[in-house]
Amino acid sequence: MATIVGEGILSASVKLLLQKIVSGEFINFFRNMKLDVPLLDKLKITLLSLQAVLNDAEEKQIANSAVKEWLNMLQDAVFEAEDLFDEINTESLRCRVEAEYETQSAKVLKKLSSRFKRFNRKMNSKLQKLLERLEHLRNQNHGLKEGVSNSVWHGTPTSSVVGDESAIYGRDDDRKKLKEFLLAEDVGDGRSKIGVISIVGMGGLGKTTLAKLLYNDHDVKQKFEVRGWAHVSKDLNVVTVTKTLLESVTSEKTTANELNILQVKLQQSLRNKSFLLVLDDIWYGRYVGWNSMNDIFNVGAIGSKIIITTRDERVALPMQTFLYVHHVRSLETEDCWNILASHAFVERNYQQQPDLEKIGREIAKKCDGIRLAAIALRGLLRTKLSQDYWNDVLKSSIWELTNDEVQPSLLLSYRYLPAPLKGCFAYCSIFSKNSILKKKMVVQLWIAEGLVPQPQSEKSWEKVAEEYFDELVSRCLIRQRSIDDLEVSFEMHDLINDLATIVSSPYCIRLEEHKPHERVRHLSYNRGIYDSYDKFDKLDDLKGLRTFLSLPLQEVQWLYYSVSGKLVCDLLPQMKQLHALSLLKYSNIIKLPKSIGSLIYLRYLNLSDTMIGRLPSETCKLYNLQTLLLTNCWNLTNLPKDMGKLVSLRHLDIRGTQLKEMPVQLSKLENLQTLSSFVVSKQDIGLKIADLGKYFHLQGRLSISQLQNVTDPSHAFQANLEMKKQMDELVLGWSDDTPSNSQIQSAVFEQLRPSTNLKSLTIFGYGGNSFPNWLGCSLFDNIVYLRIAGCENCSRLPPLGQLGNLKKLFLGNLKSVKSVGSEFYGRDCPSFQPFPLLETLRFHTMLEWEEWTLTGGTSTKFPRLTQLSLIRCPKLKGNIPLGQLGNLKELIIVGMKSVKTLGTEFYGSSSSPLIQPFLSLETLRFEDMQEWEEWKLIGGTLTEFPSLTRLSLYKCPKLKGSIPGNLPRHTSLSVKCCPELEGIALDNLPSLSELELEECPLLMEPIHSDDNSNIIITSTSSIVFNTLRKITFINIPSLTSFPRDGLSKTLQSLSICDCENLEFLPYESFRNNKSLENLSISSSCNSMTSFTLCSLPVLKTRY
């Protein structure tokens, strides 16, 4: 049962209607259209009187069903008023556009005049009926009292929109105890090497937050090699959980959707590694497939841990064994008060306000020890440090509610929201639980639905909406996701989502959870692989529907769905009141019907990731359209020529399309905030670079392509990129299809200087001989990401070391660069620190590059560099002292064909033999090193790579000698196609768990024992073989025998291919082996005639 029926949408709607009525622009239009202005004045007075009693009605509807029904009727009347004003506003837009585009002959003017008269009579009649309906409601207001509404809002004083969740009052003991269990080596039960910890408690106590603190704890991060997080909730299945964990563990998106493939990939990612996984918010009876997941988890290293959070202790039962069940108890009243006070008073001392403290402590008691309740109330109390206000909260009748659907404290936090925020919050119920909320997307939908009034100040519409969003975050009704500090996104707690669902009912529904009815205005649903028309056949009666969204709205690459064509061509065009429509990811949509032009109130249209080839010309009749998203519509080659008619358009995203040019009329849309891509036209039928200067308000990302078509540098200056202060990502691209003069390109590039607020810059295909003077200038210290590729005529790199906040740098296909030295670092000053924050550096396909100077000066060139890749730089010499990069963790060298020897210079020349080279290096990969012959080791007391865990050698045909020994932390060794490599000192690899050898005949050269009866592996210690978990041997004909001791007791995977002379182990050596799970033998072990599988009781796969 909904406690507050649709009140959130109602209070916002009334306020927005009043703002529209009193606006000068609307009144002028009213007069120009010869509509009844006195009637409008009466409507304003009536709405004001209704607004005055809304505050009292909110309270009384809880216990008074008549007031609740009155509010229902008022909401319907307000919807009618919104539709009426929408109709008037749309007619105004239509008249304005047609007056500009159509020839005004006498015959046409006469026709328009007749149409105006009919429209005026119709609108005046509707206004009169609406006024009578609203006056009737005002006259039967059930004794409601006028009072101060919550519509006045000046923002909450705050320095940040995100609360500090690290200060979890009352949970220190919980955290310490759980951390001890996580860091313990012994899992406790003696049966499983994986420990499962259950955090159990009712909703809102802080289970997830506690898990996040443990997950991000420094000591915990250091202990576990791999970490992953998946939110399970009620509706997610084992496929989704597996995929989510895989993407979290690998930090990469996956295109796979089949359970078997996902499980194999996850298993490979976890094998032999110490991992920590969190399965958040599992519901009893809902989560299936634990046994299959448990098989995957058991491939990890001993000491791995899994944390589950759940409201029901019975969830742990199917998991067979668990290390510890931790019950999260309710907080003490003092802890609740500390939560309230820490946020409500900001930096003020509450002891100096004893009256407020007394009231606040009473409110803390009413939280009943629920952390989420205290958090929600602290966001409410901090908005007004007033005794009267806090007393109103304390004495509110909402505390008396016994409704189990929502906690009174959460309802109170909503009850005291300003009217504009109520509507925005209530609308968020359209997103399902566990949805990822991107601020930009939510803001665009709020504006499209009229929930945010158009500002009269200099602030942009989007800026005002973003402030609304930030305020909801500040009030803890939306929270920032903080797992691993990934891209900033947001979410709603499940209980907060329940609150939004209640206060938006019955007007906002999710199709899978609620039955459609005629009062529904906003609808969403979860996409299926194929959505047949049966899914939507009950929507025919929703004539007033304003929102139709397929979820999720986030882009999931390379995963597509299909929908019934009847929905697109028949049903949706009937929904004339639609404001927001998303058909994201439906790959079978190749065109839109012409009837799309009948959706004249549409403001948000998302067709991203569809196969649409063109937009019908009727699209340009959508004069209200504000947001048009066409991302990754790969087949789209042009936009309608009349795009200039979309006079309300503010956001146009055309990334991933095949547009050849921009329609000339697009230059009329000077209010564009987002223009993701701009194609410079060579012909007069498209836009030129100078036209960019007309867009004063661009923000976010802009990609400019076909810059070779700019022949006059002054036109590039007119683009005025330097003044686009809100643009933070810029891509500049030239094409060599029609190469232009290099001097012109240089001059053009110089004039394309962007704003110093830029954070990301990509340059490709530039044909000039030198880079512009501004590139690398220290004024651009906001740039954190820079990619330069395909600039084949530039022989010198710009001084990029001066970019003080640069974190990622990619340089590729710079064919004229022969040396990299002081010009790359910047200022020639011993005290100057180049690249102070650079973490990732990649050189790719630098075909003429020969010298790289790292030495010189007193400063360290790359003090924070952790990842370095040198890929296909065939002439680069191997005398680079990479060993002096003290924080380097990953080094990849591919295709350095001029290198014959890696010696002392590679480790870093130093006057002190005590300085350790490659101190932090964990991953080292050499590939396609065709001329590399010798790898000199430094010898002495130093270890070459003290932190190295993974070493890979591939296609090094001339490399001789031995692999570096004395690698105490080395866990994975892969050597492929290195036919001359001879030594592998496994005795010096005490931690080795994975060994992969392919086409390395000398590495495994056989020798005979004294009695000439057995053949053993050269230089191989059976002790080391006893620690291996995974072995792969491919095409090693000289390999004839395993060590006499047989298979190790820890071996889990054994793969043998093209080793025909290998004599497989006798039955006794692997009898009752309880570790081997995967066995593959192909074109090998020719002498083997039989094999007893029953001797391997845990074997799962064999080939």
The CA-based angle 614-536-498, given to 5 degrees, is 110
Helices (DSSP H) in 366-438: which residue ranges?
Answer: 371-381, 387-395, 408-415, 419-427
Q: Would 628 be classed as within a structural domain?
A: yes
Q: Would 748 be classed as within a structural domain?
A: no
Which residues are bridge partners to 1034 per DSSP?
998, 1057
Q: Would 788 be classed as within a structural domain?
A: no
Both 201 and 119 in a single domain?
A: no
Instruction: Give the strand pairing for 580-582 and 604-606.
Output: parallel
E-assigned strands of 669-795?
Answer: 674-675, 677-679, 700-705, 727-733, 760-764, 785-789
Q: Would 738 be classed as within a structural domain?
A: no
Nearest-angstrom CA–CA distance, 904 and 913: 11
**Long-range Cβ contact pairs of 481-486 (< 8 A, separation 24 or more):** 481/436, 482/165, 482/212, 482/216, 483/212, 483/215, 483/216, 483/229, 483/248, 484/216, 484/227, 484/229, 484/248, 484/251
Q: Is the dihedral of CA 919, 923, 929, 933 positive or negative?
A: positive
| Amino acid present at 599 | L
E strand or H helix that includes residue 1057? strand 1053-1057
Give per-residue pLDDT as tens, 175-188.
Answer: 888 888 888 865 54
Q: Is the peptide bond before 455 cis (omega within 30 degrees of 0)?
A: no
Which residues are bridge partners to 278 per DSSP?
229, 307
Other CB atoms within 10 A of residue 666 CB: 24
Both 446 and 363 in a single domain?
A: yes
At 265 the pLDDT is 83
Please enumerate in sequence order all residues whose Cβ is within 8 A of that of 225, keeping only pairs 6 or more positions apart, or say none.
273, 274, 275, 301
Other CB atoms within 10 A of residue 693 CB: 17
Q: Is 966 left (phi over 0), alpha (psi -120 to 50) or beta?
A: left
pLDDT along the chain (1103 residues), means of 10: 55 83 78 82 89 80 82 90 90 84 56 68 89 90 69 46 54 87 66 77 84 87 86 70 83 74 81 85 60 72 85 62 75 85 68 80 85 82 81 80 71 83 92 89 95 84 92 86 62 88 89 88 92 91 92 68 93 94 94 94 96 94 96 94 94 95 92 95 87 93 95 95 94 81 93 96 95 94 96 94 95 95 82 90 96 70 92 91 89 93 79 70 93 79 76 92 75 89 72 86 55 40 62 84 69 85 69 73 75 64 64
Nearest CA to 33 out of 78, 103, 96, 100 is that of 96
Per the CB < 8 A criterion, the answer to whether 782 and 760 are in contact is no
DSSP class of residue 980 equals T
Which two tokens mark 341? Answer: 């006070």
Residue that finishes a domain, picked among 139, 157, 187: 139
Phi and psi angles of residue 997, each rounded to the nearest 5 degrees, phi first: -125, 130
* Mean pLDDT across the chain: 82
Residue that finishes a domain, picked among 663, 696, 728: 663
Rg, C-alpha atoms of the chain: 34
Could you tell me the residue range of the domain that residue 407 belongs to?
A: 333-504
Per the CB < 8 A criterion, the answer to whether 86 and 601 are in contact is yes
**Long-range Cβ contact pairs of 483-491 (< 8 A, separation 24 or more):** 483/212, 483/215, 483/216, 483/229, 483/248, 484/216, 484/227, 484/229, 484/248, 484/251, 488/439, 489/436, 489/437, 489/438, 490/436, 490/437, 490/438, 490/439, 491/434, 491/435, 491/436, 491/437
CATH code where residue 656 lies: 3.80.10.10
545, with CB counted inside 10 A (0-12, 13-18, 19+), is: buried
Nearest-angstrom CA–CA distance, 799 and 741: 25
Both 558 and 619 in a single domain?
A: yes
Q: Would 362 be classed as within a structural domain?
A: yes
Q: Is the dihedral of CA 617, 623, 624, 625 positive or negative?
A: positive
Both 523 and 477 in a single domain?
A: no
3-state DSSP assignment of residue 779: coil
Both 117 and 203 in a single domain?
A: no
Give per-residue pLDDT as tens, 688-737.
Answer: 999 999 999 999 999 999 999 999 999 999 999 999 999 999 999 998 76
Nearest-angstrom CA–CA distance, 695 and 668: 9
Which two tokens mark 473? Answer: 């975050």
Nearest-angstrom CA–CA distance, 263 and 277: 15
Residue that finishes a domain, picked among 488, 504, 520: 504
Both 205 and 354 in a single domain?
A: no
CATH code where residue 316 lies: 3.40.50.300
Give per-residue pLDDT as tens, 828-878.
Answer: 776 788 999 999 999 999 999 999 988 655 457 799 999 999 999 999 988
Both 586 and 609 in a single domain?
A: yes
Both 418 and 453 in a single domain?
A: yes
Phi and psi angles of residue 582, each rounded to the nearest 5 degrees, phi first: -125, 125
At 1045 the pLDDT is 64
Nearest-angstrom CA–CA distance, 507 and 542: 11
At 606 the pLDDT is 97
Which two tokens mark 400? Answer: 């008396």
Both 350 and 282 in a single domain?
A: no
Both 514 and 483 in a single domain?
A: no
Q: Would 57 be classed as within a structural domain?
A: yes
At 715 the pLDDT is 95
E strand or H helix that includes residue 265? helix 259-270
Both 314 and 444 in a single domain?
A: no
Per the CB < 8 A criterion, the answer to whether 465 and 16 are in contact is no
Distance, C-alpha 440 to centroid of its chain: 12
Both 367 and 489 in a single domain?
A: yes
At 28 the pLDDT is 80
354, with CB counted inside 10 A (0-12, 13-18, 19+), is: exposed
Q: Would 89 be classed as within a structural domain?
A: yes
Which residues are bridge partners to 842 per DSSP?
810, 869
Nearest-angstrom CA–CA distance, 838 and 855: 17
Nearest CA to 734 out of 716, 757, 756 is that of 716
DSSP class of residue 570 equals I
Q: How many domains does the chain have?
A: 4
Q: Would 383 be classed as within a structural domain?
A: yes
Nearest CA to 846 out of 817, 878, 810 is that of 817
Nearest-angstrom CA–CA distance, 882 and 917: 8
At 192 the pLDDT is 60
